[in-house]
């Protein structure tokens, strides 16, 4: 009986680390806890506000989040909105914080045990140079240059990547392509691989460390200022993107913990 009570207590503790927002169970524990939960395989996503605002209208993106094994509270805007609407106090767990913890793990650092999916040759050069400085040796056959999948394509398919992973069978697959696309790629891999690796869709997180994008220090990430650093570095690209993300407020105010569906959506 005591064992049953302990098991129940442990389950309740675990549930306190999750909050359902827009129909997605978001994890807001520590980075170490998130890495530990991914140790046995699955799909991790780090949804950002510019993509989350399309959750109701983008069925493929919505499906990828619903079918992820772990979604973390990377969006500072989402966390702030939720805490204000619900008088709550959930915390943010950024993709950058998660990545910092992930690359400390011996199994991630082991040569040949992790495949990195890079957004471009330039990004790959920056990222691999930085990883090397961290003492992480990535063999050439464990780097995959992603093609342009296209946001308009409902279902992402990549048979070349699929075959590469089947041949290498790494424990970890770290995807560093854009948000809104990488989640669909991650779900494709989860559904089509003959085994289940840990698929980490961390997006641009590594770019903030490697110099591929503007460097974001730890203090700025903890103070929810990553968006400001990006906007200052490339205002034409990021200011319109983050301004458009304001639509997430209306979506969350209307649906709160419910999953928004296209046929229910008002004009935002």
| Per-residue pLDDT of the chain in tens (268 residues, 90 and over written 9) | 334 433 444 444 455 789 999 999 999 999 999 999 999 999 999 999 999 999 999 999 999 999 999 999 999 999 999 999 999 989 999 999 999 999 999 999 999 999 999 999 999 999 999 999 999 999 999 999 999 886 655 678 999 999 999 999 999 999 999 878 999 999 999 999 999 999 999 988 898 888 888 778 877 778 787 777 777 888 887 788 878 889 999 999 999 999 998 545 554 4
Determine the 3-state secondary structure of 88 from DSSP: coil
CA distance 100 to 31: 9
Q: What is the pLDDT of residue 204?
A: 86
CA distance 11 to 204: 33
Hunting for tokens 């968006």 — which residue is that? 227
**Chain centroid to CA 206:** 12
Q: What is the pLDDT of residue 48?
A: 93
Q: What is the pLDDT of residue 5?
A: 39
CA distance 12 to 247: 33
Q: What is the pLDDT of residue 186?
A: 96
Q: What is the pLDDT of residue 78?
A: 96
Report the relative pairing of strands 18-21 and 24-27 from DSSP bridges.
Answer: antiparallel
CA pseudo-torsion sign 208, 74, 110, 68 = negative
Give the number of other Cβ atoms within 10 Å of residue 108's Cβ: 20
Radius of gyration over alpha carbons of the chain, in Å?
18
pLDDT tens-digit map of 63-99: 999 999 999 999 999 999 999 999 998 999 999 999 9
pLDDT tens-digit map of 203-214: 888 988 888 887
Q: Angle at Cα 252 formed by Cα 55 and Cα 180, nearest 5°?
A: 25
Q: What is the pLDDT of residue 152?
A: 59
Q: What is the pLDDT of residue 6?
A: 39
CA pseudo-torsion sign 143, 72, 231, 63 = positive
pLDDT tens-digit map of 170-180: 999 999 998 78
């Amino acid at each position: 009986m005591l064992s049953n009570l302990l098991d129940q207590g442990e389950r309740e503790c675990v549930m306190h680390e999750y909050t359902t927002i827009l129909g997605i169970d978001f994890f807001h524990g520590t980075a170490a806890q998130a890495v530990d939960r991914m140790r046995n395989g699955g799909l991790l996503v780090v949804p950002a506000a510019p993509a989350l605002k399309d959750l109701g209208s983008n069925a493929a993106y919505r499906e990828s989040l619903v079918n992820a094994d772990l979604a973390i509270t990377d969006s500072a805007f989402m966390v702030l909105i939720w805490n204000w609407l619900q008088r709550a106090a959930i915390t943010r767990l950024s993709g950058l914080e998660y990545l910092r913890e992930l690359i400390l793990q011996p199994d991630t650092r082991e040569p040949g045990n992790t495949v990195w999916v890079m957004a471009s040759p330039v990004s790959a050069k920056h990222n691999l140079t930085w990883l090397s400085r961290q003492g992480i040796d990535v063999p050439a056959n464990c780097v995959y240059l992603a093609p342009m999948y296209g946001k308009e394509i409902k279902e992402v398919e990549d048979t070349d990547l699929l075959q590469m992973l089947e041949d290498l069978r790494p424990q970890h697959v770290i995807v560093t392509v854009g948000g809104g696309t990488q989640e669909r790629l991650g779900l494709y891999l989860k559904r089509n691989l003959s085994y289940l690796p840990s698929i980490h869709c961390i997006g641009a997180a590594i770019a903030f460390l490697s110099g591929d994008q503007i460097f974001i220090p730890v203090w700025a990430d903890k103070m929810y200022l990553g968006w400001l650093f990006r906007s200052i570095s490339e205002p034409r690209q990021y200011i319109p993107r983050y301004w458009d993300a304001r639509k997430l407020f209306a979506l969350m105010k209307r649906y709160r913990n419910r999953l928004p569906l296209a046929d229910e959506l008002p004009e935002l």
